[in-house]
Amino acid sequence: MTDLNQKVPFDTKQDYDRESEILKVLGHPIRLKIVAGLMSQSCNVKKIWECLSLPQATVSQHLALLKNKDIITGRREGVEVYYQVTSPEATRIVSAILETLSTASNSSIII
């Protein structure tokens, strides 16, 4: 669990171009869900669109953008392509988001 008041070192010489590009791509909720899901297991297009209850064409468009930005890669097994997250930057960003959401939901008080 991360302390939100924790001081994080900031390097003014650090280049954040890649992280910024990933944040732009993950700014769409469908792509964020796809990456979060693919972090737990690789999946083919059919499984992804079934899980998200979206048309196959919509999922394919999002996958193409994620592939184009080098966030995911596909590996062919016969006629199927299985996708997985290969960007360590995207994994760190999504993990931080998921951890924050988990921490927030665990600290909610129900009255």
> Starting at the edge strand that comes first in sequence, how are the strands of the sheet with 43-44 ordered?
43-44, 80-85, 72-77
Model pLDDT for residues 44-57, shown as the tens digit of each residue: 999 999 999 999 99
- Domain ranges in the chain are 25-99
Average model confidence (pLDDT) for the chain? 90
Sign of CA dihedral 40, 71, 30, 27: positive
Percent of the chain residues past pLDDT 90, beyond the cut:
74
The end-to-end CA distance of the chain, in Å, is 24
Model pLDDT for residues 75-93, shown as the tens digit of each residue: 999 999 999 999 999 999 9
CATH fit for domain 25-99, picks 2.60.450.10, 1.20.1250.20, 1.10.490.10, 1.10.10.10 = 1.10.10.10
